[in-house]
Amino acid sequence: MIFDIIFSYDFYVVAIGVCILAIASAMVGCFSVYKGQSLVGDAIGHSSYAGVVLAFMIFQTKSPLILTLGAGIIGAISYHTINVIINNSKIRLDSALAIVLSGFFGLGLVLDSFIQGNANFSNASQAGLRNYIFGQASYIMREDIIFISSFSAISIILMLMFYKELIICIFDKDYAKSLGYSTKMIDNVLLVMMISLICVGLKTVGAILISSFLIIPCIAASQHSKNIKKCAYIKLNYCKRKQFFGSFYKQYS
C-alpha cells in the first residue's frame, strides 16, 4: 500500500509541485525574516484572497493566470497600504499588519459570500474558490506544476541576480546607499519575488498557510547555524523532507 502511493503518478505530481514551491519560498522568505518583516508575507497572503475573488467576479473564469494576477495586484496594494499606514500615522508595524490582514481577508470572504447564488454569476462555476483559503495540494495537475515552476524559476533567478545587493540592503541599508545601490529598487525586487510565490502558491497551500513556506524553513535553519550559506543548505534539505512526507500523508489520508 505504501509503495503503491510512493510510486504513483499522482504522488509525484503533488510532491514535485509542492517541493518546487517550498524550495523557492524558503530561499526568498529568508530575506523577509532577516529584514524583520516575517509577518508581512502572512498579511499579503491573507489579503491576496480578495484578489482571487475579485478577478473571478470581473472575468468570470477560474483561469489560474487570471486569478493569480488578481491576487498579485491586491497583494501589492495591501503591501503599499501597510506602508501608507506606518508612514502617515503613529500606528506600529504589527498593528498595521493586523488591520490590513483582517480587512482585505474579510473583504474576500464577503465577496465570496456575495457571489454564492447571485444570478449575475449563474453562468460561471464558483466551485473551488474557497480552496484558495486552505489550499488543495492533492488536486494539482501537470499544468499547475508548470505554472508553479515558471514563477519559482523567475523568483530564484531574480534572487541570484540581486543576491549581493539584497544581503547588503537587509543588514546595512546605509552602507548599501553609500555604495550607490538603490535600496528602493532592491525592496521592490524582494516584494515582486515574495508576491509572485505567495500568489502562485494559493491554490496549493492556501492563503492562510502560504506564509509558513516563507517563514518556518528559515527559522528552523537559523537554530542550527548563523551562516547564511549553511542556513540555505539546511533549508533546502528541510523543505524537501517536509514536503515529501506532507505529500505522502495527503495521498495516504
- CATH code for the domain of 230: 1.10.3470.10
211 grid coordinates: 506564509
Task: Report the predicted TM-score, pTM, of the whole model to 2 decimal places.
Answer: 0.87
pLDDT in tens, 77-126: 999 999 999 999 999 998 999 999 999 999 999 998 888 877 777 666 66
pLDDT in tens, 23-43: 888 888 888 888 888 889 999
User: CA torsion sign, 14 to 135 to 196 to 40?
Assistant: negative
Q: Of 96, 104, 125, which Cα lies nearest the Cα of 198?
A: 104
Residue range(s) defining the domain that contains residue 49: 2-252
Q: Give the pLDDT score at 248.
A: 53
Quote the CA–CA distance of 129 and 135 in Å, as a whole number.
Answer: 10
Q: Give the pLDDT score at 95.
A: 92
Domain total for the chain?
Answer: 1
Q: Give the pLDDT score at 191.
A: 92
- Residue ranges in the chain modelled with pLDDT below 70: 1-11, 122-127, 235-253
What is the Cβ-side half-sphere exposure of residue 225, based on CA atoms within 13 angstroms? 11
Contacts of 27 by beta carbon, 8 Å cutoff, 6+ apart: 155, 156, 159, 232, 235, 236
Indicate the burial class of 100 (C-beta count within 10 angstroms; 0-12, 13-18, 19 or more).
buried
Is residue 112 within 8 Å of 54, Cβ to Cβ?
Answer: no
Q: Give the pLDDT score at 14.
A: 75
Helices (H), the chain: 2-6, 9-34, 40-59, 64-87, 93-115, 131-134, 142-161, 163-171, 173-178, 183-200, 202-205, 210-222, 228-252
Q: Give the pLDDT score at 244.
A: 59
